[in-house]
Structure 1
Amino acid sequence: MSIPVVTVGQSQDDLVGGLERLHGPVTVVRRCDELAELLAACQSGLARAAVVAEGTGDLTASLVDRLSAVGVAVVGLTADPEEAARLRAIGVLTALPDVDAAGLASKISDAVHQLTGRGPRHPEPRDSGLADPAAGLRPAAPVVTEETPAPSGTGEIIAVWGPAGAPGRTLLAANIAAELAAEGKSVLLIDADSYGASIAATLGLLDESAGLAQACRLADQGLLDTESLKKVAASVFTKSGEFRVLTGITRADRWTELRAAALSTVFEQSRKVADVIVIDAGFCLEADEELSFDTMAPRRNAATLRSLEVADTVFAVGSADAIGIPRLVRGLAELEEAVPQSAPRIILNKVRASAAGRSPERQLREAWERYAPGSGIEALLPSEPESCDAALLSGSVLFEVAAESPLRHAIAELVCAPVQGNSRSSVRSSRARRLLKR
């Protein structure tokens, strides 16, 4: 079956004419003058592959992701090794500008084969079965094998999520990162809240550069590696350890900078530079398709949804009061629908007798068993506004300003003991938790 192809730009030889003369593997359905025209043609369902002969520098990970979303694979022609490496990093199969028609047809077939997800993503086996001229391209094939899955880091990802209403997501995320760093772990804290990023303010960082947005920009251009990720991450020093932070966007209207394709690359690189990655996720789980008919448009909630999708552990935190608990119950149902594999661990924060009655821990557990979903409560964190205010005022974490506070000990107990017992820094632990004594 012939593959419909759209092209943009002219190569050294008229490859379009050469492809048309092959009469079989591929069919050129449109020649475009610029990428915008190519995008429109692909969005209309006209093609399954796109060949970019000129203007590959304008290709980004988000653009390739948009084309992949409508079932279009991309092949870029370039003679520059650095540009070829960048294109491969964002998911573009590359070929030399002087490749002949049969070799290009082979590349197009491989790109479509990779996009369908059937069989291995490596192009060499298919090259060997096609026209001989493709053999000239095989030296580049080992690089084109898209090594992203193979060198994946072993860092564990923890996502801290909770419904609307300030249940304490940022407080928990920042202190989890600090406790793990104090245990000697290499930690990266990421502020992926696209509505109200506040990690920088919580830790007293005078940073207006939005580290996560910088990392996403590099990832979008195919230029993000472990070294560049470390450079854009701010360092936070505490009395007992150090951890890195990718600060969040400085204004809510910058959410378009946090695109799903770029975030995936950021998270993948993060696994290589840290033992544990802690993500402060946003609250909204609404599918953006419900808000827009444009399936190619950026997604406002992509940062939250992608964070939860890649997380090894999800902490779902809610306020322990008559408003916070129903919100959490409803939010968990939405979380189950949006990210079925998440298996959240339930954290009730701000536990106090004035909001839950006498013996608040017992009252909350009994109420949760009656009305909440099947999973039990993982931990109950006591309300300590004085300690939290002191930490916020000084831009510190709890163990620096209130090392002996029950809240600090509860957070440390939540993550540190299980991490110590696992060589890969897994944060999974048993559900048995000591009830806090007031």
Structure 2
Amino acid sequence: MNIPIVTVGQSREDLVGGLERLHGPVTVVRRCGELAELLAACQSGLARAAVVAEGTEELTASLVDRLAAVGVSIVALSDDSAEVARLRSIGVVTASLEVDSATLASNIFDSVDELSAQGNRRAGERDSGYADTAAELRASDVEEEAALVPAGAGRIIAVWGPAGAPGRTLVAINIAAELAAEGKPVILVDADSYGASVAASLGLLDESAGLAQACRLADQGFLDAESLKRIAAPVFTRSGSFRVLTGITRADRWTELRASALSSVLEHAKDIADIVVVDAGFCLEADEELSFDSMAPRRNAATLRSIELADTVYAVGAADAIGIPRLVRGLAELERAVPQAAPLVVLNKVRAASAGRSPERELRDAWERYGPGSGIEVFLPSDTEACDAALLSGAVLLEAAPESDLRHAIARLVCAPGQQNGKSSVIYSRARRRLKR
């Protein structure tokens, strides 16, 4: 196999010339003057590998992913140990500036072979990082290199739901609070690129979006557990505490939440917390599929990537005549976008006024007739008074309304799985009120 490569910069021993004289497995097809020229040459399909001898500090995770998406691997030359560590963290193969031409050629061959192997493993799967050129085209088979970050021991819980304010943020915040109250290290991530509201709900100052800061560091290869701890804002409750990565409050800043960088952030979050709760956005559409630039980032990459990496996905829908059909359609879209998700359905805002005299029975019957086949995991009762009190005070239900029906239902959902399918959340709440009397 002969591998065409492009290069930028000169090494001490002029390795490029050495590669040309080898007449071996690699062929230098272009020497570029700067990184922008190298990027353009790679995206035109001219090469399968790029050797960067100068300007390695300009390499970022996003740039590496753009090249990986068109099947180009990067080999960077550096003798700086800190720079080598940074480059490896963003998926770049490194070699010494004094490496001989034959060894460099072998490194290039191995990196291209590994990239091809990753592409084969991803064959047929959707890549949420970049746009397709048309709706029916299969996305790139190359996996973004953030997977090189060692996986932490924590679990990721993604809370998703369709448009229409079904209560995603409310559920995500209080799941984090209930788990923290049990003594588990928890970090809450606001990954909604359309309407981030975790900071406002918790009364936090969001002068600078924590998740955007973390993503910038991850993109540059500088993110580690300690820097993530500094960025994540602490939230204290009467029974425990958890950390929060606040979201972007301006929707036009969505490009800061690249899929590759978010992957790295979530992996590092698993190092500092047992549970990572992600408040995901609602939209799953590949709305750039009509773009002629296949390297354009996806608007909804943060949502899709959060669900792809999640160990558990809760799909939250409003329990009324509008919310149920939206959730059914949304689950169908979710299955197409992330087939492996297997979401657990949560019906929120359950009340007799919108669902009938026996709301859970009526909703379950309707779901069995028109739903997508999966059952309903839990019903969360409507409790407007408790929600208003929590929002007004910038607190979680555990503090603002500790005895509310909704708070107890969420606690049973995540803290005592054996009780989830036991007593009805609405019926059980009525019985508890009667006992109090």
Give me the TM-score of the superposition, normalised by structure 1: 0.89
1:225 pairs with 2:214: no
Deviations 1:184-211 (A, max 9, x none): 0000000000000000000000122111
Deviations 1:352-390 (A, max 9, x none): 111112111111110000000110111111111111010
Deviations 1:17-65 (A, max 9, x none): 1111110210011111111111111111111100011110000001101
**Residues 84, 165 of structure 1: CA spacing in aligned structure 2 closer, same or farther, 3 A cutoff?**
same
Identity value in percent: 76
| Counterpart residue identity of residue 47, structure 1 | A
Aligned counterparts, 1:352-431, within 5 A: 352-418=351-417
Report the alpha carbon displacement of residue 151 of structure 1 after superposing the two structures with TM: 4.3
Cα distance in 1, alignment partners of residues 95 and 219 from structure 2: 21
Tell me what 2:173 maps to: 174
Counterpart of 1:205 in 2: which secondary structure? coil
Does the CA-based 8 Å contact 2:147-2:264 persist in structure 1? no
Counterpart of 2:341 in 1: which secondary structure? coil
**Residues 149, 218 of structure 1: CA spacing in aligned structure 2 closer, same or farther, 3 A cutoff?**
closer
Does the CA-based 8 Å contact 1:208-1:250 persist in structure 2? no
Counterpart of 2:104 in 1: which secondary structure? helix
Tell me what 2:209 maps to: 210
Cα distance in 1, alignment partners of residues 214 and 225 from structure 2: 10
Report the alpha carbon displacement of residue 13 of structure 1 after superposing the two structures with TM: 2.1
Aligned counterparts, 1:95-106, within 5 A: 95-106=95-106
Tell me what 2:423 maps to: 434
Tell me what 2:136 maps to: none
Report the alpha carbon displacement of residue 291 of structure 1 after superposing the two structures with TM: 4.0
Report the alpha carbon displacement of residue 293 of structure 1 after superposing the two structures with TM: 2.2
Tell me what 1:68 maps to: 68
1:190 pairs with 2:177: no
| Counterpart residue identity of residue 345, structure 1 | L
**Residues 81, 147 of structure 1: CA spacing in aligned structure 2 closer, same or farther, 3 A cutoff?**
farther
| Displacement over 3 Å in runs of 4+ | 146-151
Does the CA-based 8 Å contact 2:19-2:105 persist in structure 1? yes
Counterpart of 1:28 in 2: which secondary structure? strand
Deviations 1:304-334 (A, max 9, x none): 0000000000000000111110000000000
Cα distance in 1, alignment partners of residues 392 and 218 from structure 2: 34
**Residues 147, 61 of structure 1: CA spacing in aligned structure 2 closer, same or farther, 3 A cutoff?**
closer
Tell me what 1:44 maps to: 44
Tell me what 1:342 maps to: 341
Per mean C-alpha deviation after superposition, the further-off stretch among 172-181 and 290-299 is 290-299
Tell me what 1:26 maps to: 26
Report the alpha carbon displacement of residue 434 of structure 1 after superposing the two structures with TM: 2.1
**Residues 204, 375 of structure 1: CA spacing in aligned structure 2 closer, same or farther, 3 A cutoff?**
same
| Counterpart residue identity of residue 2, structure 1 | N
| Counterpart residue identity of residue 381, structure 2 | P
In the alignment, structure 1 segments of 5+ residues that lack a partner are 120-145, 419-428
Does the CA-based 8 Å contact 2:146-2:260 persist in structure 1? no
Tell me what 1:241 maps to: 240
| Counterpart residue identity of residue 327, structure 2 | L
Does the CA-based 8 Å contact 1:162-1:283 persist in structure 2? yes
| Counterpart residue identity of residue 265, structure 1 | S
Report the alpha carbon displacement of residue 98 of structure 1 after superposing the two structures with TM: 2.0
Aligned counterparts, 1:130-145, within 5 A: none
1:304 pairs with 2:303: yes
Cα distance in 2, alignment partners of residues 64 and 54 from structure 1: 16
1:295 pairs with 2:294: yes
- RMSD over aligned CA atoms reads 1.7
| Counterpart residue identity of residue 356, structure 1 | A
Does the CA-based 8 Å contact 1:177-1:188 persist in structure 2? yes
Report the alpha carbon displacement of residue 89 of structure 1 after superposing the two structures with TM: 0.5
**Residues 267, 414 of structure 1: CA spacing in aligned structure 2 closer, same or farther, 3 A cutoff?**
same
Report the alpha carbon displacement of residue 433 of structure 1 after superposing the two structures with TM: 3.9
Aligned counterparts, 1:152-167, within 5 A: 152-167=151-166
Does the CA-based 8 Å contact 2:76-2:95 persist in structure 1? yes
Deviations 1:257-284 (A, max 9, x none): 0001111111111111101000000001
**Residues 407, 431 of structure 1: CA spacing in aligned structure 2 closer, same or farther, 3 A cutoff?**
closer
Counterpart of 1:254 in 2: which secondary structure? helix
Cα distance in 2, alignment partners of residues 335 and 114 from structure 1: 30
Cα distance in 2, alignment partners of residues 272 and 434 from structure 1: 36
1:92 pairs with 2:81: no
Cα distance in 1, alignment partners of residues 165 and 293 from structure 2: 31
Tell me what 2:2 maps to: 2
1:258 pairs with 2:257: yes
| Counterpart residue identity of residue 103, structure 1 | T
In the alignment of these two chains, the number of paired residues is: 403
Tell me what 1:282 maps to: 281
**Residues 150, 319 of structure 1: CA spacing in aligned structure 2 closer, same or farther, 3 A cutoff?**
closer
Cα distance in 2, alignment partners of residues 391 and 147 from structure 1: 37
Does the CA-based 8 Å contact 1:352-1:383 persist in structure 2? yes
Give me the TM-score of the superposition, normalised by structure 2: 0.89
Cα distance in 2, alignment partners of residues 40 and 95 from structure 1: 23
Deviations 1:192-239 (A, max 9, x none): 000000000000001221110111011001111111111110000000
Report the alpha carbon displacement of residue 250 of structure 1 after superposing the two structures with TM: 2.5
Does the CA-based 8 Å contact 1:391-1:397 persist in structure 2? yes
Counterpart of 1:84 in 2: which secondary structure? helix
